[in-house]
Amino acid sequence: MLNTRMRIVQRVGQVVLGLALAYAGFTHLTTSRLEFQAQVPTLLKDYADFVVLASGVFEIALGLSLLALWKYRARIGWIVATFFVLIFPGNISQYINQVDAFGLDSDRARLTRLLFQPLLVIWALWSTGAWEGRVNLFKSFRNAKIGGLR
């Protein structure tokens, strides 16, 4: 019974994460576009609008995948977790360059935001069962034929 309740909690967590990602992606393309551009690392500033638009589309796709592709939930969980790791430099850049965006108008607030990024990674892996299924996932990669060779 506890196991069933935990699965329900995980599924709810996956749906909430999917909705949050889809919403965030939508705001990348609309109402928060400039705020997200402020988080683009200095190295990519010339392409800030493209980075924001592309990441927004990708976030929408990830969110919808979490909501609709239940059969692939563990794989999608790994992709979402990787995405959260890949966007982390934007959060670091915001902290280092003291950029105010999304109400993060102090070093303390920006540092606190940095500390929450690992929680997003954990949420993605836990809610999708990706962490539990890691053994099977890695076995399937190891056993897959690559270029016709085993």
Q: Give the number of domains in the chain.
A: 1
What CA–CA distance (Å, rounded) separates 53 from 50?
5
pLDDT at residue 89 tops 60: yes
pTM above 0.85, yes or no: no
Residue 114 lies in a domain: yes
Banded model confidence at residue 31, pLDDT cuts 50, 70, 90: confident
For residue 91, pLDDT beyond 90: no
140 assigned to some structural domain: no
57 occurs within a structural domain: yes
Match 């939508």 to its residue by tokens: 26
Q: Is the pLDDT of residue 147 over 70?
A: no
| Residue 98: inside a domain | yes
Q: Is residue 134 part of a domain?
A: no
pLDDT in tens, 35-45: 888 788 888 88
Q: Which helix or strand (DSSP H or E) is residue 74 part of? A: helix 73-86
Domain that holds residue 43: 2-129
For residues 61 and 91, the model is more confident at 61
Cα–Cα distances in angstroms (integers) from residue 28 to residues 23, 34, 37, 39, 55, in the given order: 9, 8, 9, 11, 8
Whether residue 139 is contained in a domain is answered as no
Please indicate, yes or no, if residue 103 is contained in any of the structural domains. yes
Q: For residue 15, is it within any domain? A: yes
